[in-house]
Structure 1
């Protein structure tokens, strides 16, 4: 019988350091061609869409994640893993936790390879679920001394800062502006739904690591194209998805399009990531397909 995982099961089972390690393995497997991860498929259904991402790990499993865009609040996602030899459903996850934990772990993997080893000051722009899981994963790969969080809602940022202090034991303060949050930070994570840029390139200190999780399409993007152009290194978890947006992503037509490298290639030593302390490194997070079933397979004990 297939294993069924709910949000409570996922939270009781997943550990940040393990999840980061597994996402590193997934990115390398995708780079080597062992994890087949095509770009997401979107089916418009009138009033909303069904989005499916899928993956196949050679000799082990195949699976998919499905979610919808109906309504103002994101609904539950379904992740399914099949045994690659028999086709039997091995595990099913239903809920809203596995996806963000996967995204957080990919962010932690990128931060571990692209942020300076002694980076300890984290700025979070956004105080939602994605910001939380980024913190959860980054705290597993860096010894954080200070966290600053900015969100437009004063109550949300205050509650987020309190939760960080209580659950992670890290000093965290709600910032009064995005610029105040970013000032002096060596790790910056943008996790918003903003259609306009929330940070500026000139705010960054030399050597900063920046991750963008939010909108990144022409006419709707949370970081300015100038930051893309000025970054010394730009890495994504899936080039196919990064250049395959409709409308086009912000990298299309820029110098970045020709120099964009994949996280798996950097982790595998086939591409260069950070090469000096003062380089500004940007992680262009798009969500490598196949990584949700990859995480579920690991949690369910399927190699």
Structure 2
């Protein structure tokens, strides 16, 4: 039987946020209990830049696969999923939609686990596809009572807010200053490619949860100095991947894996005034889990 092939239109049509979040949550728990095998990403240098691979095996589900993406041409990403017993290639997903939606689902699981209970006032810095996927997924796990978004280009933030109101029916407003997007928020998501901090640490008030998606090396980081020291817990989806960065900005040894918090094996938020920080690095194998869920959703 030929594998099913999915493109971006299929992902948008078939993959709802609840399905993506559930698939990622199961994968994070499987990683904690040792049934998701997820080594750090590897790179093949091709001259103009590297081709990156992440691979994972979901032992309990009998599935394995990989994701491949380039870091020099902006080409389509590729995810392939095999069934282990027969060795059958089940699904191939290509395009630009699955990766960000997988990352959005990881962020939603972290927000649900680490943010204060109840409806959330959410602040976003960044108005690209990663910020959109975070909002899409987070709306599936929490009521978002008030949402602010800031981007370097105000027109992009305004367009993002208008789209979110129209497509997601969410109360999003664009603000011209980054500080206004993150002050007095219950949760903040940084979704930029900036090599320098996009906020100041003292803009983050007590009780805020912060998710960071962008660069996290010592010479390139969107997070400000001092924020991790203010956090009661620094979470990540993969300590192994965090440690694989060349000169990481955050100390991997001080991080708590999100899967351990989900399983009740490690503490997360301990009180309403805690600042919590989630460093999203892209646990390998989660894209295989989401691609498999996409495959199953088509029946």
Q: TM-score range by the shorter chain?
A: over 0.9
- Residue 76 of structure 2 is aligned to residue 81 of structure 1: no
The SS at the match of 1:66 is strand
Paired position in structure 2 for 1:282: 277
Separation in 2 of the partners of 1:86 and 1:225?
50
What is the Cα deviation at residue 126 of structure 1? 0.2
What is the Cα deviation at residue 225 of structure 1? 3.0
Instruction: Find 1:268's aligned residue among 254, 260, 263.
Output: 263
Paired position in structure 2 for 1:38: 39
Paired position in structure 2 for 1:62: 64
Question: 1:105-120 to 2 correspondence within 5 Å?
Answer: 105-120=105-120
Separation in 2 of the partners of 1:301 and 1:176?
42
What is the Cα deviation at residue 21 of structure 1? 1.5
Question: 1:1-303 to 2 correspondence within 5 Å?
Answer: 1-59=2-60, 60-71=62-73, 74-246=74-246, 248-252=247-251, 257-301=252-296
Structure 2 portions without partners, runs of 5+: none
- Which consecutive segments of 4 or more residues in structure 1 shift more than 4 A? none
TM normalised by structure 2 equals 0.96
2:201–2:225 CA contact under 8 A, matched in 1: no
Structure 1 portions without partners, runs of 5+: none
2:19–2:293 CA contact under 8 A, matched in 1: no
Separation in 2 of the partners of 1:52 and 1:82?
16
TM normalised by structure 1 equals 0.95
Could you give the per-residue CA deviations for residues 7-61 of structure 1, whole angstroms, max 9, x where no partner exists? Answer: 1111111111221111111001011110100000011111111000000111511
The SS at the match of 1:240 is helix
Separation in 1 of the partners of 2:96 and 2:283?
18
RMSD of the TM alignment (CA)?
1.3
The SS at the match of 1:192 is coil
